Amino acid sequence: MSHTPVRSSRTSAYDQITEAIIALLADGVVPWRRPWICHGPRNLVSGRPYRGINVLILASHGYPSPWWLTYRQALSLGGTVRAGEHGTQVVFWRPIDAHQDHDGHVSRRRTMVVRSYTVFHISQCDLPPAQIPTPAPTGDGIPRCEEIVRQLKTPPRMIIGSDIACYLPSTDTVYVPQMSSFETLEQYYATLFHELGHATGHPTRLNRTGLVTPAPFGSTDYSREELVAEMTSAFVCGSAGVAPEVLPANAEYIAGWLAAVRADHRLLIHAAGQAQRAADYLLGITSSDSTPNASTEVRNMPTIPRPDTMTR
């Protein structure tokens, strides 16, 4: 049996995830702008959806089935991972007690560290047929998108019919063009959820720091908040079962993301964590609705600055 070994250090977990996303970006593939997100990767044994950066990492493989599991889980179901298959690294957050010595006085504080482990898609495994769920039928996700917008708690002001799509923090206002301006309704809602993702950072909601701090287009700070909004849109669309066509990303945008993630290997994991919190907020999901475990990510990520006064 050949499978990718699990690395346990914090640095290697960040590096592994970052290198995987960098490879996609370098090929011109922006994983949070792909229709595969709607597959919603899940753990086969627990049934729980993977969260945060794990969604992008697993969904980027493009498998039609959403089911993943660990090597041991495959064995527990009476199956095995096929020889020669290579697993995919995913991450989770684990609390540890850190001890600090201050002039002879030892204090203890709890902190969160990122760890990685290996999972395999069911197509890489030989499993008893009874253990493989029947694919759920897919329906029209547009009614679910409409419901998400209607049921928003403390929504920003929304102006539908503007010339551009943007969020203005100073007035807490989302601007988007008319639905008819988009080629499809899926594109309209992907754009709307992007701007609503920005709006979740308002002090009256999730209070992401740096909300009104100006930052030039393409800068590292701009790219950080754009990652949060882009991933938020992908996560919400995925939850609704909406798969918009692949959205174009120009060279300047990709270059900005590449520069940002290369400069800070923690950025992707933290941005995805913030995006997951934003998506949960828009979907009305509370902490009790999604208890973290080894297949999910803790949502209390370090806050990522919100750089500009108006974002698109």
Banded model confidence at residue 282, pLDDT cuts 50, 70, 90: very high
**Rounded distance between C-alpha atoms, residue 257 and residue 227, angstroms:** 8
- Neighbouring-strand partners of residue 93: 114
Arithmetic mean of pLDDT, 242-266? 77
Token readout for 55 is 């969604």
Residue 73 binned pLDDT confidence (cut-offs 50, 70, 90): very high
Is residue 244 a contact partner of residue 267, using CB atoms and an 8 Å limit? no
Measured CA distances, 188 to 167, 176, 284, 292 (Å)? 15, 8, 21, 32
Spatial CA neighbour of 123 closest among 114, 132, 111: 132
pLDDT averaged over every residue in the chain: 81
> Which whole number is the average pLDDT over 24-36?
80
What pLDDT sits at residue 248?
Answer: 59
Predicted confidence band at 303 (pLDDT cuts at 50, 70, 90)? very low
pLDDT at 3: 44
H helix count then E strand count, the chain: 8, 9
Measured between alpha carbons, how far is residue 300 from residues 42, 50, 94, 271, 275 in Å? 21, 16, 12, 11, 11
Q: Is 45 helix (H, G, I), strand (E, B) or coil?
A: coil
pLDDT band at 255 (very low <50, low <70, confident <90, very high): confident
Between 94-98, 126-130, 260-264, the lowest mean confidence (pLDDT) is in 94-98
As a whole number of angstroms, the distance between CA 263 and CA 244 comes to 30
pLDDT above 60 for 2: no
Distance in angstroms (rounded) separating the CA atoms of residues 311 and 16: 30
Identify the top-confidence range among 14-23, 28-37, 176-185: 176-185
Q: What percent of the chain has pLDDT over 90?
A: 46
The lowest-confidence range among 25-29, 104-108, 144-148, 228-232 is 104-108
pLDDT-above-70 percentage for the chain: 76
pLDDT at 310 over 60: no
Which one has a higher pLDDT value, 264 or 306? 264
Q: Provide the token pair at 282.
A: 């828009």
* Burial class for 211, CB neighbours closer than 10 Å (0-12, 13-18, 19+): buried
pLDDT for res 224: 76
Adjacency order of strands within the sheet including 173-176? 157-160, 173-176, 166-168
Residue 307 has pLDDT above 70, yes or no: no
From 159, 193, 197, select the one nearest 178 (Cα to Cα). 159
Helix axes 267-283, 220-240, angle to 10 degrees: 40
pLDDT in tens, 113-124: 888 999 999 999
Q: Which residue has the higher pLDDT, 63 or 290?
A: 63
Taking CA atoms, 150 is separated from 20, 28, 189, 204, 287, in Å, by 37, 35, 13, 19, 21
Mean pLDDT of 167-172: 94
